[in-house]
Amino acid sequence: MTIIHISAECYPVAKVGGLADVVGALPKYQNSPDITSQVIMPFYNNKFTKENVFTTIYSNQISLGNRLIDFNVLMLKEKPLDFDIFFIDIPELLFKDYVYSSDDTERFLGFQIAILDWLLVWEKYPDIIHCHDHHTGLIPFMLQESYKYEAFRKIPNILTIHNAQYQGWFPHLKVGLIPPFNFNHVGLLDWGGTINPLAAAIKCAWHVTTVSPSYMEELKLAANGLESLLSSESDKCSGILNGIDTDVWNPETDHYIVKNYNIKTVKAGADANKKYLCDTFNLDFEKPLFAFIGRLVGEKGSDLFPQVFKQALQNNNINILLLGSGNPFVEEELKTLKNDYIGTYNAYIGYDEKLSHIIYAGADFLLMPSRVEPCGLNQMYALRYGTIPIVRSIGGLKDTVIDISKENGFGICHNNVSVLEITKAIDRGVALYENQSEYKKIRKSIMEIDHSWHVSAEEYIKLYKSIN
Ligand code: ADP
Ligand code: GLC
C-alpha cells in the first residue's frame, strides 16, 4: 500500500507548530515491508533547503487561472529522512522564507494543482491520499470534480483536521483558479457564501479525522462555523489521537538538552537542565519552575498570561518562564512584565527548537490553559520528560491528562479559561511541589506513559484499509 501525506509543514524541514511534528513522524511509523508512506510538501526558502542538496525529478508548468507557472518536483539528494519526501518547488509562489502569509490562496492552490498534475504521470497511482488541514483541502474536491483529474476518482482520500479555526476562505471571484470542473457542483466549495477549502474537504473526502476523539465531539458544537457540517457528515468522521516521535523526544538521547537522563536518573538530569534555565534566564533554582511553550494566540489562552503571571507570582514563591511568539500586543505585555519580576519571571519571545527541549526537560510544570486544543503535543512531550502538565480539560488535553485528585491521576486540570482558574491550578501545583515525595513519585510515573505513534499509526492503517 502506498500512502501520500500532503502537508504545508513537516519536521525537520519546516515547522510552525504541531502539524509539522505529526507529518514528520506518522509516515515513519507507518512504513513497513507492505506499506510505503511518503510526504509531499512545498519547497520553501529556509534553513533546511539551504543546508541540503536536492535533485529535480520532474518539471512542468501549472495553469493557475490564466497564468502559466513553472514548477519542479525535488527530492533530497543526500541525507534522506526516515521516509520519502517530495518537494513541490514553485519559485514564484512557494520559495519564500515563511510558511504562511496573506497570499496563501494562490500559493497553496498552486501547490495542490502541481501535486495532482505530477501524480497524473505516476506509473502507479498511490492507494491513499492523506490531506492535512485546509491548505490541502481542495484536493479532495479536485479529485472528485475536476475534469483533468478524472483518472483519480477511485483513489480514496482522507482529510485530517489539525485545527478547524483556520479554513482558508477565499471569494467566489477566484473560482477560476481551480481547474475546470462540473459547475453544477460549485456548491461543494461553498460555505456561508465564500469558498471554504476546509468545508469542501469535509464534504468531499472519503473520511475525515481529527487529532483527538474529544476534539471531534467538540467540533460538532463549536467549529468556527462548521458545526452543522461536521454533525451532518459525522458518519464518516472519527478522532485518532496523535502520538509523539519517541526517537526525537527522548530525554535519554535528546542532543538538544544539557544533560540526558532516564527514569532512574531523572533528578540529576532534570536538575541540570533546570539549573541551565535558571542561570540563563536569571531565575531561582530553589523555587518551582512553571513554563509555557507555544504560539501566543487566543486559542492558547495567551491574552490572559500577563494577568495570570502577575497574580501567580504575587501569590506564590515560584518562577515562570515563557517561550513563544504571536500576538504583538501580548508579546509586548509579556516583555514589559520582566521589569517587575526580575529574578522570578522571564520570557523568550521567538521560536527556538533547542530551548523548547531544554524547557521540557528542566521545568517542573508545563502550563497549557488552552481555549481550544485539537490535540496538543506539548503535554505529551512534558510527560515523557517528567514535567507535570497543568491543563485546561479540552480536546486532546482532556484525552491525555488525568487530574491528581482522580484514580491514577498525574496532572492538574481545570475546566475553564479564566485568570482565577489558571492561578488556582498553579496554586495546586505549588502544593504538590511542596510534597516532594508525591511530586517525585508522579514525575517518575509520567515518564512511563506510552504516547508513541505505534498505536495511532496502526489505527490510520486500519482506517485506510476500511475505505480502500
Ligand atoms: P500547535 O500546533 O497548536 O502550536 P502543539 O502542541 O500541537 O500546538 O505543537 C506545538 C509544537 O511547536 C511543539 O513541538 C512545541 O514544542 C513547538 N513550539 C511552539 N512554539 C514554539 C517556540 N516558540 N519555540 C520552539 N518550539 C515551539
Ligand atoms: C494543531 C493543533 C494542535 C495539534 C497539532 C497537531 O496545530 O492546534 O492541538 O496538536 O495541530 O495535530
CATH classification at residue 173: 3.40.50.2000
Residues 185, 275 within the same domain? no
How many folded domains does the chain comprise?
A: 2
The strands making up 2-6's β-sheet, listed across from edge to edge, are 54-64, 67-76, 85-89, 36-42, 2-6, 128-132, 157-161, 207-210, 237-239
* Residues in contact with ligand 2 (CB, 6 Å cut-off): 17-19, 22, 162-163, 211, 242, 373-377, 396
Q: Are residues 270 and 238 in the same domain?
A: no
Question: In terms of domains, do 225 and 287 share one?
Answer: no
Q: What is the rounded (10 degree) CA torsion for 131, 134, 135, 141?
A: 70
Tell me whether residue 106 is in a domain: yes
Atom from ligand 1 closest to the CA of residue 300: 3
Percentage helix, strand, coil, to 5, in the chain? 40, 20, 35
Collapsing DSSP to helix, strand or coil, 400 comes out as: helix
Residues 62 and 146 both lie in one domain: yes
Measured CA to CA, the distance from residue 459 to residue 243 in angstroms comes to: 11
What pLDDT is recorded for position 468? 82
Does 202 lie in the same domain as 76? yes
- Would you say the CB of residue 356 lies under 6 angstroms from ligand 1? yes
Per-residue pLDDT at 311: 98
248 located within any domain: no
* Same domain assignment for residues 165 and 142: yes
Residue 254 lies in a domain: no
User: What whole-number distance in Å separates Cα of residue 25 and Cα of residue 367?
Assistant: 24
What cell numbers appear for 305 in the block?
498570561
Check whether residue 354 and residue 396 sit in a common domain: yes
314 alpha carbon – ligand 2 mean position (Å): 32
- Shared domain check, 462 and 441: no
Does 253 map to a domain? no
Residue ranges making up the domain that contains 109:
2-243+453-467
**Atom number of ligand 2 nearest to Cα 19:** 6
234 and 294 assigned to the same domain: no
Alpha carbon distance 199, 226 (integer Å)? 7
Residue ranges of the chain whose pLDDT lies below 50:
none
Ligand 2 midpoint to CA 24 (Å): 13
Please report whether residue 458 resides in a domain.
Answer: yes
Q: Are residues 311 and 353 in the same domain?
A: yes
